[in-house]
Chain A
Amino acid sequence: MTNQIPVFLLVAATSAAAQDFARDIEPVLHRKCYGCHGAALQMNGLRLDDKAAALKGGYSGVAIQPGSAEKSSLIARVASAKDGFRMPPAGPKLTEAEVAALRAWIDKGAEWPEAAAAAKKAPAWKKLPWSFEAVKVPAIPAAGEGWARNPIDRFIAAKLAAENVKPSPAAAKLTLLRRVSLDLTGLPPAPAEIEAFLADSSPAAYEHLVDRLLQSPHYGERWARQWLDLARYADSDGYEKDLPRLYAWRWRQWVIEALNADMSFDRFTALQLAGDLLPNAGPEEHVATGFHRNTLRNREGGVKLEQTFFEETVDRVNTVSTVWMGLTTGCAQCHDHKYDPISQKDYYSLYAFFDNIDQVYVDAPMPGEMEPYRAKRAEYVAKRQALLDEYGIPALMRPWEEKVRWAAKNVGKEPDWDLTYDVIFQMSDGGHKFIWIDEAKRTYRQQEILVDYFIDWYNLVVPKETIDKLKPKELKKKLRALKESYPQLSQAAVITDLAEPQQSYLRVRGDYARLGIEVQPAGLGVLKPVKENGRATRLDLARWLTSPDHPLTARVAVNRMWQEFFGRGLVRTSEDFGRQGEAPTHPELLDWLASDFMTNGWKIKRMHKAIVMSATYCQQSNARPELADRDPENAWLARQNRLRLPAEAIRDSALRAAGLLSESIGGKSVYPPQPAGVMELTYQWETDRWEESAGTDKYRRGLYTFFQRTAPYPQMMNFDAPDSNVAASRRRRSNTPLQALNLLNDPVFHEAAEALTGRVLKEGGADTQARIDRAFVLAFARHPDERERQILTGTLARHRAVLGKEGKLTENAAWLGVTRALLNADEFVTRE
């Protein structure tokens, strides 16, 4: 054993105690503990190779209590017989002699010679990743003279020049029109826009187009979609029950409006993280905090309140970290991050910002709702009360409430009442809190939630005969009908602070039930503090994130914009700016964009304009075979990229080509036709049916399609829409046979093809070539070349022949062959 003692320890060991330590203790710690509790890694915050750190303890508290082995958790852990608790968790356990030596050493006072300092090896993350360095303001290179239109191009040109590569020529006018229309509004251009753009031969034609698109109300819809991906937006709870969230759309509405109004990104951030804490916060400021209400909610029977709240809070921390800092902090839920400078304590310091929130609903009226609501409110309330009285609810409910409160204090005495109390938390929003408020002091909404819960769940504690007499289902139906017949205010799910902040704790190994050390709301330890003095709030967190010296937020934000315009970010891993992510392809450009973004007031539209005005953006997207080996992923941007459209844009493009698209902006989610049986995959499918929207709501943009987490709209999933369970920073662009079936055979797309056929025949005149031209313009926003005319002429002829043989030949049917071919072509689903 002695030959394992590091030489410097032997040299330093002079006193008897030091000899004991060097001979009996340090080797044991070295062999069995340092691997996880040493200089490089401190699991659970505990470091045993350094005197001061070891005596201070870890996240679970003190490990070594000098003078008392009994009180030292170190001994309890190494001496335990229980797998999973005993340390070390793997490998040979400590021998009895080793445990005895540790025990004796601690009992004697845990004498630890000062000189016994171990080799100090910095943890890997002490070397900061590039993204933690302050954003610089790089000099703009001189490259690209004659080609460059703005500083962006200079940076791109510098790289191309260094590689001795020339940029690609500018894209054709109509290619550019379709590209920038899809990128800024998510919609292809309409024929009138094509004509107008072709007719405008002024040098500023493109800039005018860009300005017009940036002002289009569809701009907010397109860019809201990216933000919804990040916010894991959905219209249902997720998990087993996956109940609908009928007011989730209200937050989406806020996002669309904020983006259309060109709200600056720092304000956009502050409102969503802490709109409720702003002075004079109005309804819209509160609605913005709905960002945090997109978290999944598990209402499964048996889930525990504390665990649910913990998991939701963890999800909020992970989401905020990914969205604003491009960091995957999730690892630090259980232990210090291995690669990035995020300690477990940092993680729970961020957690503490969201540990003190209350999740509530507020009135969030849309324009025009308030007046009729006010006029009829009293009448509605009286009628509702009359209905409740008619069914005898108040009289039954009071003793029921009494007993529920009794059961909550007498757990285990009456199982059905225990269940009733548990289910209040699971199935009502806040009922478990309201039931403790005196009835007279409850708000109308609080009482309403409890009454609704009672009607649904009284059956848990009374015999079936009682329920049969009470007829709760009938009452519920009447209440719903009553509600629908009176004007109501839109609601929004929001967060607020708890009246009294509660102490937050680190959770040992990420287990909600194992409280570690106390933590205060704070940012990452390696960055400047969120607040010097006093308790930091969510608003402080927002301001810290968007302060000019935060190295991550602006970089992450502009990189995601870049990603949307080129198909990949300058940092390809837009969700990970840590050491495990990829380095930027153009670090100076990224910093230039970030600093420009910050110094010009975090203006999103301004940045979008700069990017789409660049010569880099306007290049052709055709492949450059000579670069296939040198730059296979087109990281240098010697051309644009051809990108398969997102799911929503594919739907929207088909509906627009067909002339079916409803262009109304905002509002509730809609239920376009989907195959019967999709909802059968959900747990609640018998009650939560998909009731197809009527009229023009069938043809709304994909953004508005109701998103049921456990059975999402198939076309969305086929084309890589995220499942909305976790923040999605970038989408995949897969290419599967199910997509082909979807475009070929989905009744929605077939209807679009039929409607497009009608348009072609009507608008294209009688001449075949003119019709082909019209079809091409409607589908691809350009005119066909000779070969394409040939192909489509053949298409028409061959479909005619088939139909003739089948005895089904009509002009419409033959042209349907042409329009279906166009809507299924690669170009239709691609932005070039």
Chain B
Amino acid sequence: MNEREYLGLQNRRRFLREAAGGLGMAALGDLLTADKLTAASADSMTPRQPHFPGKAKHVIYMFMEGGPSQYELFDEKPVLRQWHGKPLPESMTKEMKLAFIKPTAAVMASQFKFARHGKSGMALSELLPRLGTCADDLTLVRSMQTDAFNHHPGQLLLFTGSIQFGRPSMGSWVTYGLGSESQNLPGFVVLTSGRGTSGGASNFGSGFMPSHFQGTVFRNSGDPILYLSNPPGVSRDFQHETLESVNALNAHRYETTGDAEIASRISSYELAFRMQMAAPDLLDFSKEPAAIREMYGVDSEDKDLKQYASNCLLARRLVERGVRFVLMMDASWDHHGRLNKELPKRCKKIDQPTAALIKDLKQRGLLDETLLVWGGEFGRTPMVEMRRPNDVESAGRDHHPNAFSMWMAGGGFKGGYTHGKTDDLCLNVAEDPVHVHDLQATILKQLGFEHARLTYRHTGRDFRLTDVHGKFISKLVG
């Protein structure tokens, strides 16, 4: 579909179809029965069929902003110990794109131990013990690659397929492709924890697509959705009366002007009201069994853990209610310094809730149809970044786009599978590279789309999430 076809929807047909979902629309009843038109599938947010039946129906994308270190978490490199404290020869570093450090910086070995988990024997770091108990549900990709070595460009590439501004984000593409199954919540929801991200709104913007495909941010303080609560002094009944009057005025205006856009307005007001009604239930965790609350950690004393746990539990509840794409953004994993102190803290905060989410989805039979993706926009260097040369604790790692790790679970991805290999120092991918465009293509495939055919026409060109790249990596899926 293109923009023109969207605009073509502004006609009587749409008016009648959209008004059909209305509440208290006596004035329109006659119009509706007089017209034999029924709902068409081209409506922007109605659920739609993909190119072929997809394995997954929902995505929960856990974006670890900043670039988690693969050395400490997913890709054990004992050889680093031999190089510890020494610079690498120029021949090995000349292809590296470094943001802060110089190629002559010394190598730093990881301090953390790895252990094998599950039947598959997947090697994971001691920093993620609970995730280890889910190893047989994970597809660990050690051979991720990207092109950008700065945060904002890296995040643009990961989420929009291009380092240029103005393209729709992954969540927008997915809701554009599949529509939304939720009657009273937005199709694409964004949850945040930690500080703001480098990519900001472009990670969930709709670019040149209509704005209803952009992610709706659920906020951590105040209303979860902006302006969700009635203003002070306005009760639910009062609000309802106001809406009835708005609809009556609008229906009357439609009779005068015949403008189908008014029907859209009516249905928007109704969805808004339904959102107001549905949100308290969505956010009310009190009816969750104690075991579930404990499993996630939503009552934890640790504020950070509690916040991330709440987002994980909320993500499950959103998916249960038909939300198509949940983007969780956690910032920041950009450990240029104090890596050995800060990374374990970060891991402690996310490990328990993440494992809980996987297990909970699984026990509810939702893991098959929900695709979980976990990772950052790039990885980190083998070389140390030490801004204070005499302060060992200040050591961290720089950005590294050439080789890094991510994992997926559910949505038809293979459980207990480790994909790809990096060289002894994780400088480059040695086997089975997966570019971020390939990841995008594979995610779309699992949702039922041929990535090269999911297009949107803008300025005379058919754009796609994978730009002009990307290939489906069949080995990743079962």
**Residues in A lying within 8 Å of B, measured CB to CB:** 239-240, 242, 296, 298, 300-303, 328, 330, 339, 411-412, 414-416, 418-419, 422, 460, 463, 573, 575-576, 578-581, 621-623, 625, 628, 632-633, 642, 644, 675-686, 709-712, 714, 717-718, 720, 723, 725-726, 732, 734-742, 744-747, 750, 787-788, 791-792, 794-795, 798-799, 802-803, 805-806, 808, 813, 817-818, 820-822, 824-827, 830, 832
Q: Which of B231-268 contact A (CB under 8 A)?
A: 231, 233-235, 237-239, 241-242, 244-246, 248-250, 252-253, 256-262, 264-265, 268
Residues in chain A near residue B237, CB distance under 8 A: 802, 805-806
* Cβ of B299 to closest chain A Cβ, rounded Å: 23
Whether the Cβ atoms of B261 and A735 lie closer than 8 Å is: yes
Nearest CB of B to A76, in Å: 18
**Cβ 8 A contact of A824, one of B98, B196, B246, B386:** B246
- The answer to whether B386 and A625 have CB atoms under 8 Å apart is no
B100 touches A625 (CB 8 A): no
B216: Cβ under 8 A from any A Cβ: yes
Whether A573 and B221, one on each chain, are in contact in the complex, defined by CB atoms closer than 8 angstroms, is: no
Min Cβ gap B57→A in Å is 22
Give chain B residues whose Cβ lies under 8 Å from the Cβ of A303: 99, 150
Q: A303-B99, A681-B197, A710-B200 are in contact. List 14 more A-B contacts (CB 8 A).
A: A240-B198, A412-B102, A415-B387, A680-B192, A681-B201, A683-B198, A684-B196, A711-B196, A734-B211, A735-B261, A736-B212, A742-B227, A795-B241, A824-B242
Residue interface bits B211-224, CB-to-A below 8 A is 1, else 0 = 11000110111110
Q: Are A820 and B242 in contact (CB under 8 A)?
A: yes
Kindly list chain A residues whose C-beta atoms are within 8 Å of the C-beta of B104.
412
User: Which of B's residues lie within 8 Å of A, judged by CB?
Assistant: 7-8, 10-12, 98-105, 149-153, 164-166, 186, 192, 195-202, 205, 210-212, 216-217, 219-223, 225-231, 233-235, 237-239, 241-242, 244-246, 248-250, 252-253, 256-262, 264-265, 268-269, 271-273, 275-276, 336, 385-389, 398-399, 459-461
* Contact present for B151 and A798 (CB under 8 Å): no
Say yes or no: A242 contacts B459, CB within 8 Å. Answer: no
Complex CA–CA separation, A553 to B451 (angstroms): 38
Contact check, A787 vs B242: say whether CB atoms are below 8 A apart. no
Question: Chain B residues with Cβ under 8 A from A298's Cβ?
Answer: 150, 152-153
Chain B hits for A711, CB < 8 A: 196, 200-201
Residues of A within 8 A of B228 (CB): 741, 745
> Nearest 3 A-B pairs (CB), nearest first?
A580-B460, A302-B99, A623-B258
A676 to chain B, nearest CB (A): 6
**Which of A623, A734, A799, A818 is the one whose CB lies under 8 Å from B257?**
A623
- Would B252 and A737 count as touching, CB distance under 8 A? no
In whole angstroms, how far apart are the Cα atoms of A579 and B103 in the complex?
47
CA A628 to CA B200, docked complex, whole Å:
42
Residues of A contacting B11 in the complex (Cβ-Cβ under 8 angstroms) = 628, 632
Chain B nearest Cβ from A579, distance in angstroms: 7
Contacts A738-B226, A799-B238; A825 near B249 (Cβ below 8 A): yes
CB of A686 within 8 A of CB of B244, answer no
Known: A725-B202, A737-B268, A741-B226. A240 touches B152 (CB 8 A): yes
Contact between chains at A710 and B196 (CB < 8 Å) = yes
Contact present for B211 and A683 (CB under 8 Å):
no
Q: CB-nearest residue of chain A relative to B149?
A: A302
Per the bound structure, the CA–CA distance linking A240 and B198 in Å amounts to: 4
Separation of A827 and B249 alpha carbons in the complex (Å): 9
CB <8 Å contact, B262 and A826: yes
Q: Please, which residues of chain A bring their CB within 8 A of the CB of B216?
A: 738
Q: Please give, as numbers and ranges, the residues of chain A lying within 8 Å of B262 by CB-CB distance.
A: 826
Contact A720 B229 (CB under 8 A): no
Query: Among A642, A720, A739, A817, which residue has its beta carbon within 8 angstroms of that of B245?
Result: A817
Contact status B460-A573, CB under 8 Å: yes
Which of chain A's residues have a CB closer than 8 A to the CB of B196?
679-685, 710-711
Beta-carbon contact of A411 and B150 below 8 Å: no
Once bound together, how far apart are the Cα atoms of A794 and B272, in whole Å? Answer: 23
A575→B222 CA distance, assembly (Å): 40
Which residues from B are CB-within-8-Å of A412? Answer: 102-104
Q: Is the beta-carbon distance between B238 and A578 smaller than 8 angstroms?
A: no
Chain A residues with CB below 8 A from B199, complex form? 240
Residues of B within 8 A of A740 (CB): 265, 268-269, 271-273
B461 close to A681 (CB less than 8 A): no
Contacts of B239 in A (CB 8 A): 744
Closest Cβ of chain B to A712, distance in Å, is 7
Question: Chain B: which residue is nearest A331 at the CB level?
Answer: B461
Separation of A676 and B153 alpha carbons in the complex (Å):
28
| Neighbour of B150 across the interface among A302, A744, A791, CB < 8 A | A302
Taken together as a complex, chains A and B put the C-alpha atoms of A753 and B245 apart, in Å, by: 15
Whether A821 pairs with B249 at a CB distance below 8 angstroms is yes
Give complex CA distance A712, B201 in Å. Answer: 9
Contacts of A827 in B (CB 8 A): 249, 253
Q: Which of A242, A573, A714, A805 contacts B226 (CB 8 A)?
A: A714
CB distance from B396 to the nearest CB of A (A): 12
Q: In whole angstroms, how far apart are the Cα atoms of A826 and B199 in the complex?
A: 35
Q: Could you tell me if A737 and B269 are in contact, using CB atoms closer than 8 angstroms?
A: yes
In the complex, 17 of the A-B residue pairs with CB atoms within 8 angstroms, ordered by the A residue number, are A240-B152, A298-B152, A300-B151, A463-B388, A573-B460, A625-B258, A633-B7, A679-B196, A725-B165, A740-B269, A740-B271, A742-B227, A746-B227, A802-B238, A821-B249, A825-B246, A830-B261
- CB-defined contacts of A685 to chain B, threshold 8 Å: 195-196
Contacts of A684 in B (CB 8 A): 196
- Closest CB in chain B relative to A221 CB, distance in Å: 24
A742 to B223, CA, bound (A): 12
Give the Cβ gap from A798 to chain B, nearest Cβ, in Å. 5
Q: Which of A576, A750, A821 has the most CB of B within 10 A?
A: A821
Residues of chain B contacted by A463 (CB below 8 angstroms):
388
Quote the shortest CB–CB distance from A196 to chain B (angstroms).
26
A795 to B268, CA, bound (A): 20
Inter-subunit contact B460/A242 (CB<8 Å): no
> Which residues in A have their C-beta under 8 angstroms from that of B219?
675, 677, 680
Q: Which residues of B lie under 8 Å from residue A632 when comparing CB positions?
A: 8, 10-11
Known contacts A738-B216, A791-B245; is A418 also within 8 Å of B231 by CB?
A: no
A573 to chain B, nearest CB (A): 7
Given A675-B223, A787-B252, A826-B261: A741 and B245 within 8 A (CB)?
Answer: no
Complex contact B211–A736 (CB within 8 A): yes
B166 touches A242 (CB 8 A): no
CB-based nearest B residue for A240: B198
Determine if B102 and A415 form an interchain contact, defined as CB atoms under 8 angstroms apart.
yes
In whole Å, how far is A732's beta carbon from the nearest beta carbon of chain B? 6
Contact A725/B166 with A732-B211, A738-B216 known, Cβ cut-off 8 Å: yes
A105 to B23, CA, bound (A): 80
Check B226 against A742 for contact (C-beta < 8 Å).
yes
Q: Which residue of A lies closest to B207 (CB)?
A: A723
Residue contact A832 to B257, C-beta cutoff 8 Å: yes
Q: Are the C-beta atoms of B387 and A460 separated by less than 8 Å?
A: yes
| A821 in complex: contacting residue of B100, B227, B245, B336, CB < 8 Å | B245
Whole-angstrom distance from the CB of B273 to the nearest CB of chain A? 8
What residues of chain B lie closer than 8 Å to A830, measured between beta carbons?
A: 261
- Return chain B residues, CB-CB under 8 Å to A824: 242, 246, 269
Q: Quick one: closest A residue to B87, CB to CB?
A: A412
User: Which residues of A lie under 8 Å from residue B265 when comparing CB positions?
Assistant: 735, 740, 826
A795 nearest in chain B by CB position: B245
B250:A239 contact, CB within 8 angstroms: no
Chain A residues lying within 8 Å of B399, measured Cβ to Cβ, are 302
Please report the C-alpha to C-alpha distance between residue A803 and residue B233 in the assembled complex, in whole angstroms: 10
- Indicate if the CB atoms of B211 and A720 lie closer than 8 Å: yes
Residues from chain B with Cβ under 8 Å of A419 in the complex: 100, 387
A832 to B153 alpha-carbon distance, docked (Å) = 42
Q: Report the bound CA distance from A712 to B234 in whole Å.
A: 27
Q: Given A412-B102, A711-B201, A737-B275, are A798 and B253 also a contact pair (CB < 8 Å)? A: no
- Beyond A412-B102, A709-B200, whether A741 also contacts B272 by CB under 8 A is yes
In angstroms, Cα B398 to Cα A71, docked, is: 38
Contact (Cβ within 8 A) A622 B257: yes
Of A625, A723, A795, A808, which contacts B205 at CB under 8 A? A723
